[in-house]
Structure 1
Amino acid sequence: MDRDMTGRTVVITGASSGIGFEAARQLARQGATVVPVGPSKESSAAIAAELGVGPLAADYTRLAEVRSLAGQLLERCPTIDVLAHNAGAMVPERRITEDGHETSLQINYLAPFLLQSLLHERLSASRTHTVITSSLAHWSGRIRLDDFSFDRRRYSTSAAYSDSKLADLLFTREIARRTPQTGITATAFHPGVVNSSIGTGAAGINHLIYNTRLGGMLMIDNKEGAAPLVHLATVADPHSVNGQYFNRMKADSRTSKQSRSPELAQRLWTRTETMLGLSTNR
Protein backbone atom coordinates (compact mmCIF):
# COMPACT_ATOMS: atom_id res chain seq x y z
CA MET A 1 0.00 0.00 0.00
CA ASP A 2 1.23 3.50 -0.84
CA ARG A 3 2.06 5.67 2.14
CA ASP A 4 0.18 8.93 2.43
CA MET A 5 2.86 11.60 1.97
CA THR A 6 0.56 14.56 2.57
CA GLY A 7 2.39 17.38 4.33
CA ARG A 8 5.85 16.02 3.49
CA THR A 9 8.34 17.79 1.23
CA VAL A 10 10.52 15.77 -1.13
CA VAL A 11 13.35 17.31 -3.15
CA ILE A 12 14.50 15.20 -6.12
CA THR A 13 17.49 16.08 -8.29
CA GLY A 14 17.72 14.57 -11.75
CA ALA A 15 13.93 14.89 -11.91
CA SER A 16 13.66 16.17 -15.47
CA SER A 17 13.85 12.67 -16.98
CA GLY A 18 14.30 8.98 -16.21
CA ILE A 19 13.65 7.52 -12.78
CA GLY A 20 13.69 10.95 -11.15
CA PHE A 21 10.80 12.11 -13.34
CA GLU A 22 8.83 8.95 -12.59
CA ALA A 23 9.53 9.08 -8.85
CA ALA A 24 8.44 12.73 -8.72
CA ARG A 25 5.14 11.79 -10.35
CA GLN A 26 4.49 8.87 -8.02
CA LEU A 27 5.36 10.74 -4.84
CA ALA A 28 3.16 13.67 -5.86
CA ARG A 29 0.29 11.23 -6.37
CA GLN A 30 0.87 10.03 -2.81
CA GLY A 31 0.37 13.57 -1.55
CA ALA A 32 3.94 14.82 -1.20
CA THR A 33 4.99 18.34 -2.08
CA VAL A 34 7.65 17.43 -4.62
CA VAL A 35 10.36 19.92 -5.58
CA PRO A 36 11.90 18.67 -8.86
CA VAL A 37 15.38 19.81 -9.90
CA GLY A 38 16.90 19.36 -13.36
CA PRO A 39 20.06 20.48 -15.14
CA SER A 40 18.23 23.45 -16.70
CA LYS A 41 14.89 25.21 -16.29
CA GLU A 42 13.98 24.16 -19.83
CA SER A 43 14.55 20.48 -19.07
CA SER A 44 12.64 20.79 -15.76
CA ALA A 45 9.68 22.60 -17.28
CA ALA A 46 7.59 19.50 -18.10
CA ILE A 47 7.72 17.86 -14.67
CA ALA A 48 7.36 21.22 -12.91
CA ALA A 49 4.25 22.03 -14.96
CA GLU A 50 2.77 18.60 -14.28
CA LEU A 51 3.28 19.08 -10.53
CA GLY A 52 2.15 22.70 -10.59
CA VAL A 53 5.39 24.13 -9.20
CA GLY A 54 8.10 26.47 -10.44
CA PRO A 55 11.11 24.75 -12.03
CA LEU A 56 14.43 24.68 -10.22
CA ALA A 57 17.69 23.91 -11.97
CA ALA A 58 21.41 23.53 -11.51
CA ASP A 59 24.04 22.46 -14.00
CA TYR A 60 26.19 20.20 -11.84
CA THR A 61 29.26 20.88 -13.96
CA ARG A 62 29.22 24.36 -12.37
CA LEU A 63 29.40 24.37 -8.59
CA ALA A 64 28.30 28.01 -8.52
CA GLU A 65 24.91 26.80 -9.76
CA VAL A 66 24.76 24.21 -6.96
CA ARG A 67 25.32 27.01 -4.44
CA SER A 68 22.55 29.03 -6.08
CA LEU A 69 20.24 26.00 -5.98
CA ALA A 70 20.88 25.57 -2.25
CA GLY A 71 19.83 29.15 -1.65
CA GLN A 72 16.63 28.69 -3.64
CA LEU A 73 15.76 25.48 -1.79
CA LEU A 74 16.27 27.20 1.57
CA GLU A 75 13.86 29.93 0.47
CA ARG A 76 11.25 27.52 -0.91
CA CYS A 77 11.36 24.69 1.63
CA PRO A 78 10.92 25.44 5.36
CA THR A 79 11.38 21.70 5.89
CA ILE A 80 12.85 18.97 3.70
CA ASP A 81 11.64 15.54 4.71
CA VAL A 82 13.39 13.65 1.91
CA LEU A 83 16.33 14.74 -0.23
CA ALA A 84 16.94 12.42 -3.19
CA HIS A 85 20.38 12.86 -4.78
CA ASN A 86 19.48 11.29 -8.11
CA ALA A 87 21.21 13.44 -10.74
CA GLY A 88 23.95 11.55 -12.55
CA ALA A 89 25.80 11.07 -15.81
CA MET A 90 28.25 8.92 -17.73
CA VAL A 91 30.87 11.10 -19.41
CA PRO A 92 32.40 9.74 -22.64
CA GLU A 93 35.80 11.36 -22.25
CA ARG A 94 37.97 12.93 -19.57
CA ARG A 95 36.86 16.51 -19.07
CA ILE A 96 37.85 18.90 -16.31
CA THR A 97 35.15 21.29 -15.12
CA GLU A 98 35.66 25.00 -14.57
CA ASP A 99 35.94 24.07 -10.87
CA GLY A 100 38.95 21.86 -11.61
CA HIS A 101 37.41 18.39 -11.15
CA GLU A 102 36.85 15.39 -13.44
CA THR A 103 33.29 15.74 -14.72
CA SER A 104 31.85 12.36 -13.66
CA LEU A 105 33.17 12.86 -10.15
CA GLN A 106 31.71 16.35 -9.94
CA ILE A 107 28.25 15.54 -11.32
CA ASN A 108 27.76 12.25 -9.51
CA TYR A 109 29.45 12.94 -6.18
CA LEU A 110 30.98 16.36 -5.50
CA ALA A 111 27.89 18.40 -6.45
CA PRO A 112 25.53 16.28 -4.28
CA PHE A 113 28.03 16.47 -1.40
CA LEU A 114 28.15 20.25 -1.75
CA LEU A 115 24.36 20.56 -1.86
CA GLN A 116 24.03 18.33 1.21
CA SER A 117 26.58 20.45 3.07
CA LEU A 118 24.99 23.78 2.15
CA LEU A 119 21.57 22.49 3.29
CA HIS A 120 22.98 20.82 6.42
CA GLU A 121 21.28 22.97 9.05
CA ARG A 122 17.87 22.68 7.34
CA LEU A 123 18.31 18.93 6.87
CA SER A 124 19.30 18.43 10.49
CA ALA A 125 16.34 20.46 11.76
CA SER A 126 14.01 18.50 9.43
CA ARG A 127 15.45 15.08 10.37
CA THR A 128 15.76 14.51 6.63
CA HIS A 129 16.07 11.09 5.06
CA THR A 130 18.66 11.28 2.27
CA VAL A 131 18.24 8.85 -0.64
CA ILE A 132 21.27 8.48 -2.89
CA THR A 133 21.28 6.82 -6.31
CA SER A 134 24.39 4.65 -6.41
CA SER A 135 24.97 1.71 -8.72
CA LEU A 136 26.02 -1.91 -8.94
CA ALA A 137 28.98 -0.42 -10.83
CA HIS A 138 30.46 0.58 -7.47
CA TRP A 139 31.89 -2.96 -7.27
CA SER A 140 34.54 -2.06 -9.86
CA GLY A 141 35.23 1.37 -8.36
CA ARG A 142 38.50 2.20 -6.61
CA ILE A 143 38.83 5.30 -4.48
CA ARG A 144 42.19 7.00 -4.98
CA LEU A 145 42.28 9.95 -2.64
CA ASP A 146 45.42 11.20 -4.39
CA ASP A 147 44.05 10.85 -7.95
CA PHE A 148 40.32 11.60 -8.08
CA SER A 149 40.51 13.22 -11.50
CA PHE A 150 42.60 10.58 -13.30
CA ASP A 151 45.65 12.78 -13.59
CA ARG A 152 47.90 9.72 -13.13
CA ARG A 153 45.64 6.83 -14.03
CA ARG A 154 44.37 5.98 -17.47
CA TYR A 155 40.87 7.39 -17.88
CA SER A 156 37.87 5.35 -18.93
CA THR A 157 34.18 6.22 -18.82
CA SER A 158 33.32 3.10 -16.83
CA ALA A 159 36.14 3.58 -14.31
CA ALA A 160 35.22 7.20 -13.64
CA TYR A 161 31.54 6.32 -13.31
CA SER A 162 32.25 3.37 -11.01
CA ASP A 163 34.54 5.44 -8.80
CA SER A 164 31.91 8.16 -8.45
CA LYS A 165 29.21 5.64 -7.52
CA LEU A 166 31.48 4.05 -4.93
CA ALA A 167 32.05 7.54 -3.52
CA ASP A 168 28.26 7.96 -3.32
CA LEU A 169 27.97 4.77 -1.29
CA LEU A 170 30.72 5.83 1.11
CA PHE A 171 29.01 9.23 1.37
CA THR A 172 25.78 7.46 2.35
CA ARG A 173 27.46 5.45 5.07
CA GLU A 174 29.26 8.42 6.55
CA ILE A 175 25.99 10.37 6.75
CA ALA A 176 24.51 7.36 8.53
CA ARG A 177 27.43 7.15 10.97
CA ARG A 178 26.80 10.76 11.92
CA THR A 179 23.03 10.34 12.44
CA PRO A 180 23.19 10.43 16.28
CA GLN A 181 24.72 13.92 16.08
CA THR A 182 22.79 15.30 13.07
CA GLY A 183 19.45 13.48 12.93
CA ILE A 184 19.97 13.00 9.18
CA THR A 185 19.61 9.44 7.85
CA ALA A 186 20.73 8.06 4.48
CA THR A 187 20.21 5.07 2.22
CA ALA A 188 21.73 4.26 -1.18
CA PHE A 189 20.29 2.12 -3.93
CA HIS A 190 20.99 0.58 -7.32
CA PRO A 191 17.92 1.12 -9.54
CA GLY A 192 18.77 -1.63 -12.02
CA VAL A 193 19.89 -1.12 -15.62
CA VAL A 194 17.28 1.41 -16.68
CA ASN A 195 16.37 2.39 -20.21
CA SER A 196 17.01 6.09 -19.66
CA SER A 197 19.20 8.90 -20.97
CA ILE A 198 22.05 8.25 -18.51
CA GLY A 199 23.73 5.90 -20.96
CA THR A 200 23.90 8.43 -23.79
CA GLY A 201 27.61 9.00 -23.25
CA ALA A 202 28.46 5.40 -22.45
CA ALA A 203 31.44 3.68 -24.05
CA GLY A 204 32.71 0.09 -24.29
CA ILE A 205 30.48 -2.52 -22.65
CA ASN A 206 28.20 0.19 -21.30
CA HIS A 207 27.60 1.42 -24.87
CA LEU A 208 26.46 -2.09 -25.83
CA ILE A 209 24.09 -2.16 -22.87
CA TYR A 210 22.59 1.30 -23.25
CA ASN A 211 22.77 2.04 -26.95
CA THR A 212 21.94 -1.15 -28.84
CA ARG A 213 18.68 -2.96 -29.52
CA LEU A 214 19.87 -6.06 -27.66
CA GLY A 215 20.83 -4.00 -24.64
CA GLY A 216 17.46 -2.29 -24.71
CA MET A 217 15.74 -5.67 -24.47
CA LEU A 218 17.58 -6.38 -21.23
CA MET A 219 16.83 -3.08 -19.51
CA ILE A 220 13.94 -2.14 -17.24
CA ASP A 221 11.67 0.86 -17.66
CA ASN A 222 11.70 4.04 -15.61
CA LYS A 223 8.74 3.03 -13.46
CA GLU A 224 10.49 -0.12 -12.31
CA GLY A 225 13.78 1.75 -11.86
CA ALA A 226 12.06 4.38 -9.71
CA ALA A 227 10.53 1.79 -7.38
CA PRO A 228 13.39 1.71 -4.83
CA LEU A 229 13.61 5.50 -4.75
CA VAL A 230 9.87 5.79 -4.09
CA HIS A 231 10.03 3.04 -1.49
CA LEU A 232 12.91 4.65 0.39
CA ALA A 233 11.31 8.09 0.23
CA THR A 234 8.17 6.69 1.84
CA VAL A 235 9.61 4.24 4.35
CA ALA A 236 7.89 4.68 7.72
CA ASP A 237 11.07 4.51 9.80
CA PRO A 238 14.18 5.77 7.97
CA HIS A 239 16.37 4.55 10.83
CA SER A 240 15.42 0.98 9.87
CA VAL A 241 17.30 1.38 6.56
CA ASN A 242 19.94 3.89 7.69
CA GLY A 243 23.30 3.23 6.03
CA GLN A 244 21.95 0.37 3.92
CA TYR A 245 22.41 -0.29 0.21
CA PHE A 246 19.44 -1.59 -1.77
CA ASN A 247 20.04 -3.59 -4.94
CA ARG A 248 16.77 -2.59 -6.59
CA MET A 249 14.20 -3.64 -3.94
CA LYS A 250 16.51 -5.97 -2.01
CA ALA A 251 17.45 -4.44 1.32
CA ASP A 252 20.90 -4.58 2.91
CA SER A 253 22.55 -6.02 -0.20
CA ARG A 254 26.22 -6.97 -0.44
CA THR A 255 28.69 -4.27 -1.39
CA SER A 256 32.37 -4.04 -2.25
CA LYS A 257 35.17 -4.20 0.31
CA GLN A 258 36.11 -0.52 -0.03
CA SER A 259 32.49 0.53 0.43
CA ARG A 260 32.42 -1.18 3.83
CA SER A 261 35.42 0.72 5.24
CA PRO A 262 34.39 3.30 7.87
CA GLU A 263 37.93 4.66 7.86
CA LEU A 264 37.87 5.27 4.10
CA ALA A 265 34.42 6.88 4.35
CA GLN A 266 35.70 9.34 6.96
CA ARG A 267 38.88 10.08 5.01
CA LEU A 268 36.88 10.61 1.82
CA TRP A 269 34.51 12.99 3.62
CA THR A 270 37.40 15.07 4.98
CA ARG A 271 39.18 15.11 1.62
CA THR A 272 35.97 16.16 -0.13
CA GLU A 273 35.39 19.03 2.28
CA THR A 274 38.92 20.23 1.56
CA MET A 275 38.39 19.97 -2.22
CA LEU A 276 35.19 22.01 -1.97
CA GLY A 277 36.51 24.55 0.52
CA LEU A 278 33.94 23.59 3.16
CA SER A 279 34.11 23.80 6.94
CA THR A 280 35.26 20.53 8.54
CA ASN A 281 33.37 20.92 11.82
CA ARG A 282 30.30 18.83 10.93
Structure 2
Amino acid sequence: MTDEEPAVNISGGTAGGGITAEFDPATADTRAEEIVDRLGELYWQKTYGGRDAFTCLVRTILSQNTSDKASQPAHDALIERYDGEGIDLAESLAGAEQSILAETIQPAGLYNQKSEIIIDTAEWVLEAFGSAAAFDEFVKDEDPAEVRETLLEVRGVGPKTADCVLLFAGGRGGVFPVDTHVHRIYRRLGIAPADADHEAVRAVLEREVPAEKCGFGHTASIQFGREYCSARKPACLEDPEACPMADLCEQVGVYPETGEVVDPAEAPEAETRG
Protein backbone atom coordinates (compact mmCIF):
# COMPACT_ATOMS: atom_id res chain seq x y z
CA MET A 1 0.00 0.00 0.00
CA THR A 2 1.07 3.59 -0.48
CA ASP A 3 1.31 6.29 2.17
CA GLU A 4 -1.37 8.30 0.38
CA GLU A 5 -4.50 6.40 1.25
CA PRO A 6 -7.84 7.90 0.24
CA ALA A 7 -10.34 8.57 3.00
CA VAL A 8 -13.04 6.53 1.27
CA ASN A 9 -12.85 3.12 -0.40
CA ILE A 10 -13.94 3.23 -4.02
CA SER A 11 -14.14 0.02 -6.04
CA GLY A 12 -13.21 0.69 -9.61
CA GLY A 13 -13.66 4.41 -9.95
CA THR A 14 -15.22 6.44 -12.73
CA ALA A 15 -11.88 6.98 -14.45
CA GLY A 16 -11.48 3.25 -14.96
CA GLY A 17 -15.11 2.58 -15.74
CA GLY A 18 -15.68 0.97 -12.36
CA ILE A 19 -18.70 1.23 -10.11
CA THR A 20 -18.66 2.71 -6.64
CA ALA A 21 -19.23 0.07 -3.98
CA GLU A 22 -20.05 0.27 -0.29
CA PHE A 23 -18.64 -2.29 2.10
CA ASP A 24 -20.81 -3.36 4.99
CA PRO A 25 -20.40 -6.96 6.19
CA ALA A 26 -23.73 -6.76 7.98
CA THR A 27 -25.61 -6.39 4.69
CA ALA A 28 -23.70 -9.03 2.69
CA ASP A 29 -25.82 -11.62 0.91
CA THR A 30 -23.18 -14.37 0.89
CA ARG A 31 -20.24 -15.34 3.07
CA ALA A 32 -17.90 -14.56 0.17
CA GLU A 33 -19.30 -11.03 -0.03
CA GLU A 34 -19.01 -10.68 3.74
CA ILE A 35 -15.32 -11.53 3.50
CA VAL A 36 -14.75 -9.01 0.71
CA ASP A 37 -16.69 -6.39 2.67
CA ARG A 38 -14.47 -7.00 5.66
CA LEU A 39 -11.43 -6.62 3.41
CA GLY A 40 -13.00 -3.31 2.40
CA GLU A 41 -12.63 -2.19 6.00
CA LEU A 42 -8.94 -3.19 6.01
CA TYR A 43 -7.59 -1.94 2.70
CA TRP A 44 -8.09 1.00 0.41
CA GLN A 45 -8.95 0.40 -3.22
CA LYS A 46 -7.12 1.21 -6.37
CA THR A 47 -8.83 2.36 -9.52
CA TYR A 48 -9.32 -0.42 -12.04
CA GLY A 49 -9.20 0.00 -15.76
CA GLY A 50 -7.49 2.59 -17.88
CA ARG A 51 -4.16 0.84 -18.33
CA ASP A 52 -2.90 0.17 -21.84
CA ALA A 53 -4.04 -3.36 -22.65
CA PHE A 54 -0.89 -4.63 -24.37
CA THR A 55 1.39 -3.14 -21.72
CA CYS A 56 -0.82 -4.77 -19.07
CA LEU A 57 -0.62 -8.09 -20.90
CA VAL A 58 3.17 -7.93 -21.04
CA ARG A 59 3.35 -6.93 -17.38
CA THR A 60 1.19 -9.88 -16.36
CA ILE A 61 3.24 -12.34 -18.41
CA LEU A 62 6.35 -11.07 -16.64
CA SER A 63 4.68 -11.60 -13.26
CA GLN A 64 3.93 -15.27 -13.88
CA ASN A 65 5.64 -17.62 -11.41
CA THR A 66 7.43 -14.80 -9.62
CA SER A 67 6.85 -11.94 -7.19
CA ASP A 68 6.09 -8.30 -7.92
CA LYS A 69 9.45 -7.45 -6.36
CA ALA A 70 11.18 -9.48 -9.08
CA SER A 71 8.92 -8.69 -12.02
CA GLN A 72 8.63 -4.92 -11.57
CA PRO A 73 12.32 -4.18 -12.37
CA ALA A 74 12.04 -6.42 -15.42
CA HIS A 75 8.96 -4.53 -16.59
CA ASP A 76 10.62 -1.16 -16.01
CA ALA A 77 13.71 -2.24 -17.96
CA LEU A 78 11.57 -3.54 -20.82
CA ILE A 79 9.60 -0.30 -21.07
CA GLU A 80 12.78 1.78 -20.95
CA ARG A 81 14.35 -0.19 -23.79
CA TYR A 82 11.39 -0.89 -26.07
CA ASP A 83 8.77 1.78 -25.42
CA GLY A 84 8.84 5.48 -26.12
CA GLU A 85 6.97 8.40 -27.62
CA GLY A 86 5.61 7.57 -31.05
CA ILE A 87 6.58 3.89 -30.72
CA ASP A 88 4.06 1.07 -30.90
CA LEU A 89 5.17 -1.30 -28.15
CA ALA A 90 3.78 -4.36 -29.93
CA GLU A 91 5.71 -3.49 -33.08
CA SER A 92 8.84 -2.80 -31.08
CA LEU A 93 8.67 -6.14 -29.22
CA ALA A 94 7.70 -8.13 -32.29
CA GLY A 95 10.99 -7.03 -33.85
CA ALA A 96 13.05 -7.53 -30.72
CA GLU A 97 16.09 -9.79 -30.63
CA GLN A 98 15.07 -12.60 -28.30
CA SER A 99 18.41 -12.86 -26.53
CA ILE A 100 18.49 -9.13 -25.81
CA LEU A 101 14.89 -9.13 -24.56
CA ALA A 102 15.69 -12.13 -22.35
CA GLU A 103 18.63 -10.27 -20.85
CA THR A 104 16.45 -7.22 -20.29
CA ILE A 105 13.77 -9.10 -18.35
CA GLN A 106 16.15 -11.42 -16.48
CA PRO A 107 15.02 -10.29 -12.98
CA ALA A 108 11.57 -11.77 -13.64
CA GLY A 109 12.93 -15.31 -13.91
CA LEU A 110 12.18 -17.82 -16.69
CA TYR A 111 13.44 -15.04 -18.94
CA ASN A 112 14.14 -17.19 -22.01
CA GLN A 113 10.64 -18.63 -21.98
CA LYS A 114 8.97 -15.32 -21.16
CA SER A 115 10.91 -13.42 -23.84
CA GLU A 116 9.74 -15.93 -26.47
CA ILE A 117 6.14 -15.65 -25.29
CA ILE A 118 6.26 -11.85 -25.28
CA ILE A 119 7.63 -11.73 -28.83
CA ASP A 120 5.03 -14.26 -30.02
CA THR A 121 2.29 -12.27 -28.29
CA ALA A 122 3.45 -9.03 -29.90
CA GLU A 123 3.43 -10.71 -33.31
CA TRP A 124 -0.08 -12.01 -32.63
CA VAL A 125 -1.34 -8.54 -31.66
CA LEU A 126 0.03 -7.06 -34.88
CA GLU A 127 -1.38 -9.86 -37.02
CA ALA A 128 -4.81 -9.92 -35.39
CA PHE A 129 -5.33 -6.22 -34.63
CA GLY A 130 -2.67 -4.23 -36.50
CA SER A 131 -1.36 -2.31 -33.49
CA ALA A 132 -1.25 -2.18 -29.72
CA ALA A 133 -3.75 0.70 -29.85
CA ALA A 134 -6.27 -1.39 -31.77
CA PHE A 135 -5.80 -4.26 -29.32
CA ASP A 136 -6.48 -1.82 -26.49
CA GLU A 137 -9.78 -0.83 -28.11
CA PHE A 138 -10.73 -4.49 -28.49
CA VAL A 139 -10.11 -5.22 -24.81
CA LYS A 140 -12.05 -2.17 -23.62
CA ASP A 141 -14.97 -2.22 -26.06
CA GLU A 142 -15.82 -5.80 -26.95
CA ASP A 143 -17.82 -8.34 -24.96
CA PRO A 144 -15.71 -9.51 -21.98
CA ALA A 145 -16.42 -13.17 -22.70
CA GLU A 146 -15.17 -12.75 -26.26
CA VAL A 147 -12.07 -10.89 -25.07
CA ARG A 148 -11.32 -13.58 -22.51
CA GLU A 149 -11.81 -16.41 -25.01
CA THR A 150 -9.56 -14.66 -27.53
CA LEU A 151 -6.80 -14.08 -24.99
CA LEU A 152 -6.91 -17.70 -23.82
CA GLU A 153 -6.06 -18.83 -27.34
CA VAL A 154 -2.68 -17.10 -27.08
CA ARG A 155 0.30 -19.19 -26.01
CA GLY A 156 1.38 -18.34 -22.49
CA VAL A 157 -1.87 -16.59 -21.58
CA GLY A 158 -3.84 -18.42 -18.91
CA PRO A 159 -7.08 -17.53 -17.12
CA LYS A 160 -5.42 -15.29 -14.51
CA THR A 161 -3.51 -13.32 -17.14
CA ALA A 162 -6.62 -12.87 -19.27
CA ASP A 163 -8.67 -11.77 -16.27
CA CYS A 164 -6.02 -9.28 -15.14
CA VAL A 165 -6.10 -7.66 -18.59
CA LEU A 166 -9.90 -7.45 -18.42
CA LEU A 167 -9.74 -5.91 -14.96
CA PHE A 168 -6.75 -3.58 -15.07
CA ALA A 169 -7.00 -2.51 -18.72
CA GLY A 170 -10.70 -2.99 -19.45
CA GLY A 171 -12.03 -1.96 -16.05
CA ARG A 172 -14.61 -4.74 -16.36
CA GLY A 173 -16.84 -5.48 -13.42
CA GLY A 174 -17.49 -9.05 -12.34
CA VAL A 175 -13.91 -10.17 -13.02
CA PHE A 176 -12.16 -11.83 -10.07
CA PRO A 177 -8.70 -13.03 -11.19
CA VAL A 178 -7.47 -16.05 -9.27
CA ASP A 179 -3.77 -16.19 -8.46
CA THR A 180 -2.06 -18.49 -5.95
CA HIS A 181 -3.16 -16.32 -3.00
CA VAL A 182 -6.83 -16.21 -4.02
CA HIS A 183 -6.81 -19.92 -4.85
CA ARG A 184 -5.41 -20.79 -1.42
CA ILE A 185 -7.42 -18.34 0.69
CA TYR A 186 -10.93 -19.10 -0.52
CA ARG A 187 -10.43 -22.85 -0.28
CA ARG A 188 -8.91 -22.44 3.19
CA LEU A 189 -11.86 -20.27 4.21
CA GLY A 190 -14.26 -22.93 2.96
CA ILE A 191 -15.84 -20.66 0.35
CA ALA A 192 -14.75 -22.88 -2.53
CA PRO A 193 -14.37 -26.67 -2.47
CA ALA A 194 -11.03 -27.80 -1.08
CA ASP A 195 -10.10 -29.54 -4.33
CA ALA A 196 -11.30 -26.73 -6.63
CA ASP A 197 -8.90 -25.66 -9.35
CA HIS A 198 -8.33 -22.00 -10.21
CA GLU A 199 -11.24 -21.84 -12.63
CA ALA A 200 -13.64 -23.42 -10.15
CA VAL A 201 -12.62 -20.92 -7.47
CA ARG A 202 -13.14 -18.08 -9.95
CA ALA A 203 -16.62 -19.36 -10.80
CA VAL A 204 -17.62 -19.43 -7.13
CA LEU A 205 -16.30 -15.93 -6.42
CA GLU A 206 -17.79 -14.32 -9.52
CA ARG A 207 -21.13 -15.90 -8.63
CA GLU A 208 -21.14 -14.94 -4.95
CA VAL A 209 -19.40 -11.54 -4.95
CA PRO A 210 -21.19 -8.56 -6.53
CA ALA A 211 -19.63 -7.48 -9.83
CA GLU A 212 -18.59 -4.06 -8.53
CA LYS A 213 -16.62 -5.66 -5.68
CA CYS A 214 -14.73 -8.31 -7.64
CA GLY A 215 -11.79 -6.15 -8.69
CA PHE A 216 -11.18 -4.99 -5.15
CA GLY A 217 -11.72 -8.52 -3.89
CA HIS A 218 -8.85 -9.71 -6.05
CA THR A 219 -6.29 -7.09 -5.05
CA ALA A 220 -7.32 -7.03 -1.38
CA SER A 221 -7.22 -10.81 -1.12
CA ILE A 222 -3.64 -10.80 -2.39
CA GLN A 223 -2.73 -8.25 0.29
CA PHE A 224 -4.57 -10.28 2.90
CA GLY A 225 -2.70 -13.40 1.81
CA ARG A 226 0.63 -11.67 2.19
CA GLU A 227 -0.13 -10.12 5.56
CA TYR A 228 -2.30 -12.71 7.28
CA CYS A 229 -3.09 -15.87 5.32
CA SER A 230 0.29 -16.91 3.95
CA ALA A 231 0.85 -20.37 2.54
CA ARG A 232 3.06 -21.73 5.32
CA LYS A 233 2.51 -19.50 8.35
CA PRO A 234 -1.02 -18.07 8.50
CA ALA A 235 -1.57 -15.67 11.39
CA CYS A 236 -4.02 -18.02 13.12
CA LEU A 237 -1.28 -20.54 13.87
CA GLU A 238 0.11 -18.41 16.69
CA ASP A 239 -3.06 -16.61 17.71
CA PRO A 240 -6.55 -17.71 16.61
CA GLU A 241 -7.76 -14.13 17.00
CA ALA A 242 -4.88 -12.56 15.06
CA CYS A 243 -6.67 -12.98 11.74
CA PRO A 244 -9.52 -10.55 10.89
CA MET A 245 -11.37 -13.44 9.21
CA ALA A 246 -11.12 -15.81 12.21
CA ASP A 247 -14.87 -16.03 12.78
CA LEU A 248 -15.58 -16.59 9.08
CA CYS A 249 -12.86 -19.13 8.35
CA GLU A 250 -13.20 -22.91 8.35
CA GLN A 251 -9.38 -23.30 8.48
CA VAL A 252 -9.36 -26.09 5.92
CA GLY A 253 -5.85 -27.55 6.06
CA VAL A 254 -4.71 -25.37 9.00
CA TYR A 255 -4.19 -26.95 12.42
CA PRO A 256 -3.21 -24.48 15.19
CA GLU A 257 -3.08 -27.32 17.72
CA THR A 258 -0.16 -28.99 15.95
CA GLY A 259 1.18 -26.09 13.87
CA GLU A 260 0.65 -28.12 10.71
CA VAL A 261 -0.43 -26.50 7.45
CA VAL A 262 -1.32 -28.41 4.28
CA ASP A 263 -2.96 -27.53 1.01
CA PRO A 264 -6.75 -27.59 1.52
CA ALA A 265 -7.05 -30.35 -1.09
CA GLU A 266 -4.83 -32.56 1.10
CA ALA A 267 -6.73 -31.89 4.32
CA PRO A 268 -8.48 -34.94 5.81
CA GLU A 269 -11.65 -32.94 6.41
CA ALA A 270 -11.79 -32.07 2.71
CA GLU A 271 -12.86 -35.63 1.97
CA THR A 272 -15.83 -35.38 4.31
CA ARG A 273 -16.94 -32.10 2.79
CA GLY A 274 -17.44 -33.79 -0.55
| Shorter-chain TM-score tier | under 0.3
Q: Hey, which of these two has a bigger chunk of strand by percent? A: 1
Bigger Rg, which one: 2
Q: Which has the higher contact order (CA 8 A, sep 6+)?
A: 2
Q: Hey, which of these two has a bigger chunk of helix by percent? A: 2
